[in-house]
Structure 1
Amino acid sequence: MTTDEGRAVAPGLVHDAPGRRSPGALAGAVASEWTKLWSVRASWLSLLAGLVITGVFTYYYASIARINGHPVEAVGNAAASSAVVTQFAFVVLATVAVTSEYATGTVRASLLWVPRRHRVQAAKALVAAAVAFLGGALFAVAGTAVAWAAFDGRASFDAGTTLGQVLAVGAYQAFVAVLTVGVAFATRHPAGALSILAGLLWALPSVLLGLGGETLAAVNDLLPYGAGGHFMRVGGGAPYSTATGVLIVAAWTAAAHLAGLYVLRRRDA
């Protein structure tokens, strides 16, 4: 039996008849990826590290603002700012979800079970996005609580604004997770994927902002974290609307996803 991409598969694995559930269908692939994600210790360790980093970063951010007498700002900005560091918890989680299978060779079994390759990538992306959204939102809630205590009166709290920021942080982390899945499929190696993502999400923005200047700041505004920072934080005079910031991050995510899919389809496992 052959797939839609011309590869032979074991008989009985794919059944696309109406009304019949196929092991190779997207729902089955998502269930499989969910199980595999939580069977890897690195997933749990990444989330634990992200939670600890959130607490430390938000406490530091709020304490500095209090000590230096910065103008009162939204308490959720501390959690939003921590995403520059905590995003790497989800980068590692999503990278491991892809590259661990290439390292062990189990990706061949995954592609045999789900021979339509776009479903394999879509399943990993959906699972990583769901975990990152929920994890990012929970990190933001924890970070906001820590920051509120550390600000000691130097922050404002509005329930609607804070909820919006919590959801925005979760959405940004979900985008980062899907972007990571695409890069990981394109590189197939953890060192390569992490190098690209560290450069794109942290090193390049740091260099651009460190050098200063309106032109370099405008370039940073078009990068994933630059745009994400604008729709996660409130105040500060963003150069474009929240919707534009979301679309910029979504465009980067889509580009990475398509690049990963191209490599997955063109190269043998």
Structure 2
Amino acid sequence: MSTPQPQTHQQAAPAPNWQPAPGTTYTSPIPITRTHLGHALASEWTKIKSVRSTMWTLGVFLLLVVGIGFLVAVNTSDNDYADVPYTIPAFFGLILGQICLITLGVLVVSSEYGTGMIRTTFTASPQRHRVLTAKLMIFFAVAFVVSALAIAFVGLVTSGLHGGSSEVSWAGTVVKGSLYVSLLGVLALAVGSMLRHSAGAITAMLGLVLVPAILPAFLMISDSLRTVGEKMMEYNAPNALARIFEIDSESGTGGPQLGLLAGLTAAAIVGAYVLLERRDV
């Protein structure tokens, strides 16, 4: 019988400690590109156009503004537009349609917190302020363009139905009306960034829009609170839109109301930036 040979275990030789030759540096074959705001804008544009909530909310918004506007235009006469712009029918749709933009503004940011995807976003783009800036810019652009197209379309349809004989310019109402509802949506986005909760942010925004429209009826009962009630009625969202669409030309064209909303939106955006940098994800 043959004697079994003892097995020997060979150890792999350690890999040499590779170092570049003196005086040379290592260059990665992977191209390195410095990130900038354009990359964040492209990312946010991809997000907002690929989620179902955007299509649903904007679809309902267009249905309300155009649909209600068409119904109002059909049930009015040529004489109704003697001293008012042809975009008046769009006002009635915007009263409800603004809720869609408020909802979308909140969901643009709060949905990422709800699913936890915001961690991935901030890992890919550690500059948090850049992400929020991109969200604000993309959302405002989408909301303004969609609103302007809807209001302008209603104005064109109304003008065609009623002869286009009115000499009142309605281009300003398209711009200011779109700007007002878009700023409401941006304000909702900032509130959503601060609260990080969809239901809470939407509820807060609905309260901000609806309470000033309802509360003046109770405040004006008291003589001491009548002034507060009158101011609240003057600056609430429905009356602000009514002034922008020049339903009553003697009450102004909505400039102060638009300025107040712009100020509130700017303050909310500042608060969103501050909290974004101070809090953990």
Deviations 1:67-91 (A, max 9, x none): xx96843221222343221112222
User: Which residue of structure 1 lines up, in the alignment, with residue 3 of structure 2?
Assistant: none
Does 2:232 correspond to 1:219? yes
Distance 1:59 1:247 in 2: 30
Deviations 1:52-109 (A, max 9, x none): 111232244446665xx96843221222343221112222222221111111111011
Question: AA paired with 1:53?
Answer: L
Does 2:212 correspond to 1:205? yes
Question: AA paired with 2:179?
Answer: A
Question: AA paired with 1:204?
Answer: V
User: Which residue of structure 2 lines up, in the alignment, with residue 26 of structure 1?
Assistant: 37
Question: AA paired with 1:265?
Answer: E
Distance 1:149 1:208 in 2: 39
Task: Give, in angstroms, the shift of residue 231 of structure 1.
Answer: 3.0
Distance 1:158 1:209 in 2: 35
| Of 144, 161, 166, the match for 1:157 | 166
CA shift in 2, pair 1:172/1:96, >3 Å = same
User: Which residue of structure 1 lines up, in the alignment, with residue 278 of structure 2?
Assistant: 266
Does 2:180 correspond to 1:178? no
Give 5+ residue unaligned stretches, structure 2: 1-31, 221-225
Question: AA paired with 2:195?
Answer: T
Does 2:264 correspond to 1:252? yes
Distance 1:228 1:118 in 2: 32
Distance 1:188 1:261 in 2: 13
Distance 1:258 1:65 in 2: 44
| Of 233, 236, 251, the match for 1:238 | 251
Q: Tell me which structure has the larger Cα radius of gyration.
A: 2
Task: Give, in angstroms, the shift of residue 235 of structure 1.
Answer: 3.5
CA shift in 2, pair 1:229/1:259, >3 Å = farther
Contact preservation (8 Å) 1:223, 1:249: no
- Within-5 A mapping of 1:1-269: 22-23=34-35, 25-62=36-73, 72=82, 73-148=84-159, 157-158=166-167, 161-201=169-209, 203-208=210-215, 210-211=217-218, 213=220, 215=227, 216-223=229-236, 226-233=239-246, 235-238=248-251, 242-269=254-281
CA shift in 2, pair 1:171/1:156, >3 Å = farther
CA shift in 2, pair 1:173/1:71, >3 Å = closer
CA shift in 2, pair 1:212/1:142, >3 Å = farther
SS of 1:221's equivalent?
Answer: helix
Give the RMSD, CA atoms, in angstroms: 2.9
**Which TM-score applies when normalising by structure 2?**
0.75
Task: Give, in angstroms, the shift of residue 42 of structure 1.
Answer: 1.0
Distance 2:51 2:230 in 1: 39
> Number of residue pairs matched?
243
SS of 1:74's equivalent?
Answer: coil
User: Which residue of structure 2 lines up, in the alignment, with residue 4 of structure 1?
Assistant: none
Task: Give, in angstroms, the shift of residue 183 of structure 1.
Answer: 0.6
Give 5+ residue unaligned stretches, structure 1: 1-19
Deviations 1:162-201 (A, max 9, x none): 1111111221122122111101101111101110111112
Distance 1:156 1:211 in 2: 42
Task: Give, in angstroms, the shift of residue 261 of structure 1.
Answer: 2.1
* Comparing 26-35 and 206-215, the one that deviates more: 206-215
CA shift in 2, pair 1:123/1:86, >3 Å = same
Distance 1:60 1:205 in 2: 28
Contact preservation (8 Å) 2:91, 2:241: no
Identical residues among aligned pairs (%): 27
Question: AA paired with 1:193?
Answer: A
